[in-house]
Amino acid sequence: MKKLLPLLFAMITANALAQQARRPEDPYTLKAISIGPEFSMPAKTDFKYGVGASGQVEYPFTDLVSFTGSIAYTRYYYKVSSNEFGAVGPSIVIPVKVGAKFFLDPDIHCDIETGVALETNYTKRKSFAVSFLIGYTIPLEKNPGGVDIGLKFEDWGKERMRAVGLRVAYRLGWK
């Protein structure tokens, strides 16, 4: 909880500052693409943290809901970097998901996505992936998108992994 308070404070401050900037387009009706870095903190696994990048496309199908598709590339680093056979490199995972984005406000949204997480090295396992994100878009003056900041929870099956992460992305929208 102590870690969430600074994030909440930053979101409220950004909202207050963004009230001065005029949003050029209604974000509900825009097609959009966003790309940016992701940081993950897995729980109850052999991994210490994860770093990567993700991209997401949005296509509106009602006034407040958009269809989403996303792909990410994440490197998860082990807590112990060597074993009896030598050094252990990071595990590389590529989650591919589809879902929906629900706008609660022009700047606040929730994303729910499901798909598959593909490991590309060592075991080459595939896991069912579910993610939930609550995000805030800081509007930019001349761009119908903005900077999208989100707190994400991911679950890759009972035995695989659960992680909480931060996604910061540049969002570009068009009609």
| Ranges of each domain in the chain | 4-174
Determine the average pLDDT of the residues in 82-90: 68
Structure tokens at 157: 């099956």
Identify the three-state secondary structure at position 8: helix
The predicted pLDDT at position 47 comes to 86
How far apart are alpha carbons 151 and 40 in whole angstroms?
10
Give the chain's mean pLDDT: 83
How far apart are alpha carbons 44 and 161 in whole angstroms?
8
The predicted pLDDT at position 20 comes to 47
How would CATH label the architecture of 4-174? Beta Barrel (2.40)
Least confident interval from 54-68, 105-119, 137-151: 137-151
CA 25 to chain centre: 23
Reply yes or no on whether the pLDDT at 117 is more than 50: yes
Residue whose structure tokens are 């009972």:
158
Where residue 161 falls among pLDDT bands split at 50, 70, 90? Answer: confident
